[in-house]
Amino acid sequence: MNAWVVRTPGPIDTSPLSYVRRPVPQPAPAELLLRVRTCGVCRTDLHVSEGDLPVHHPRVTPGHEIVATVVGLGAGVSGYAIGDRVGVAWLRHTCGTCRYCVRGAENLCPQSRYTGWDSDGGYAEYTTAPAAFAYHLPDNYDDVAVAPLLCAGIIGYRALQRAQLPQGGRLGIYGFGGSAHLTAQIALAQGATVHVMTRGEQAQQLALELGAASATDAYGTPPEPLDSAILFAPVGDLVPVVMRALDRGGILSIAGIHLSDVPVLNYQLDLFYEREIRSVTANTRADGEAFLRFAAEHTLKVTTHRYPLASGQQALNDLEAGRFDGAAVLCNDAL
C-alpha cells in the first residue's frame, strides 16, 4: 500500500515526510482492518511532522480524522461487520482502570495513546484501529465532509464545553480553521453571539457567511466584552489579548495540543475579576459520541478542500501557510 511517513521531523518546507510503499497491516485482536477512504488534515499532523510533538513512534504515518470501510476483523471484535463505514479519531487507547478513566476523564489517562502519533494513522491506503475507539458515522455527510468532524469537530465541541459559554452568551473565536468554523456553527445553533478574530480575509469572510456577528484581525478587539473565548491559533502571544477581551468571570479555553510560549500575564489586567484560562486535552469517547449525535441532528456546513493522498505533504504545507479556509481532506485516489 501507499503511505506517508514522518522521515525526520522538521519544518514542513523541508519536506520531512516520505511517500513510501508498506505492507498492508494486519488487525490485532479487538482491532479493525480499515480501507481508508478519506482522512482530514489536522494541525496536530503538522505538529507531529515538524517535531513540535516529540517522536513516539519512529516513521509514523500521521492522520487521525479517518473515514474508512471495514475490510477485516481481529479476533473478538463485536459491533462491526465487513463493509461498515466507520470513523477513527485522535484517542486510540486508554487503560480503563486508572482513577481518571474510572471517573469518566479518560482523556487524562496516563497510558492514553493516539492515532497518527503512537500508532500509524490515515495518511495511507489502509490502517488498523481498536474497535472500541471507532465510531459509527452519521449518514447525512459524505466521506469528505465527515472527515474533519472526527477531530476538528470533536475537539471544538469539547473546547466549547470547557469554555462554559452561558446561554445566549458572547463567544470569541481566535483563529478560524477547520475546527473553529465547525465550533462557531455549534455555538450559533445553541443561540450564542459569535465574534471571530483571525488572520486572512478568506477566513474572515467565511466566518461572516456562517453567521458570525463580526470578524476582524486576530489581534483586533471584539465589538463587545466576551463571556467566553476559544483560542484555536497555536500562538501564545494571543493569550493576554484574549484575556483583556473577556468580561468579568469570562473563561478562555485553549483548544490546541501545542502552543507557543505565553507572555508574562499582568494579574490586574489579564486575570482579575475571576477570569480563567483552561486547557483542552484530547477528548473522551463520550465527547465524540455526543458531538456526532449533534452533527446528525444539525447538518453542519463543512468547508473542505480535497487533495489526493499523494499530495499529503503539500496539504500540510498549505495548512501551515494559511492557503485555504476550512479543512483539507486527503482522498484515496482509488475511490
pLDDT of residue 265: 96
Average pLDDT of the chain, as a whole number: 97
Q: What is the pLDDT of residues 71-117, one digit of tens each?
A: 999 999 999 999 999 999 999 999 999 999 999 999 999 999 999 99
State whether 109 and 71 are in the same domain.
yes
Q: What is the pLDDT of residues 287-301, one digit of tens each?
A: 999 999 999 999 999
Q: What are phi and psi of 152, to 5 degrees?
A: -55, -45
pLDDT of residue 212: 98
Q: What is the pLDDT of residues 65-82, one digit of tens each?
A: 999 999 999 999 999 999
Once rounded to an integer, what is the mean pLDDT over residues 203-223?
A: 96
Local confidence band at 34 (pLDDT 50, 70, 90 cut-offs) = very high
Q: What is the CATH number of the domain that holds 174?
A: 3.40.50.720
State whether 144 and 157 are in the same domain.
no
- Asked if residues 67 and 147 have their Cβ atoms less than 8 Å apart, the reply is yes
Once rounded to an integer, what is the mean pLDDT over residues 141-170?
A: 97
Q: What is the pLDDT of residues 296-319, one digit of tens each?
A: 999 999 999 999 999 999 999 999
CB count within 10 Å of CB 265 equals 14
State whether 178 and 92 are in the same domain.
no
State whether 217 and 316 are in the same domain.
no
State whether 140 and 118 are in the same domain.
yes
State whether 190 and 212 are in the same domain.
yes
Q: What are phi and psi of 131, to 5 degrees?
A: -60, -35
pLDDT of residue 124: 98
State whether 145 and 291 are in the same domain.
yes
- The structure's pTM equals 0.93
State whether 116 and 216 are in the same domain.
no
User: 64: domain range?
Assistant: 2-151+283-331
Long-range contacts of 14-17 (CB under 8 A, 24+ apart): 15/313, 16/49, 16/50, 16/51, 17/49, 17/62, 17/312, 17/313, 17/316
Q: What is the percentage of the chain residues whose pLDDT exceeds 70? A: 99
The count of domains in the chain is: 2
Q: How many helices (H) and strands (E) does the chain have?
A: 9, 17
Residue 334 pLDDT greater than 60, yes or no:
no
CA distance 195 to 193: 7
State whether 138 and 67 are in the same domain.
yes
State whether 130 and 197 are in the same domain.
no
pLDDT of residue 333: 72
State whether 173 and 308 are in the same domain.
no
pLDDT of residue 101: 98
Amino acid at 255: A
CA distance 335 to 331: 8
State whether 108 and 162 are in the same domain.
no
pLDDT of residue 307: 98
Residue 146 pLDDT greater than 70, yes or no:
yes
Question: Which of these three, 279, 299, 314, is where a domain ends?
Answer: 279
Residue 119 pLDDT greater than 60, yes or no:
yes
- Asked if residues 86 and 32 have their Cβ atoms less than 8 Å apart, the reply is yes
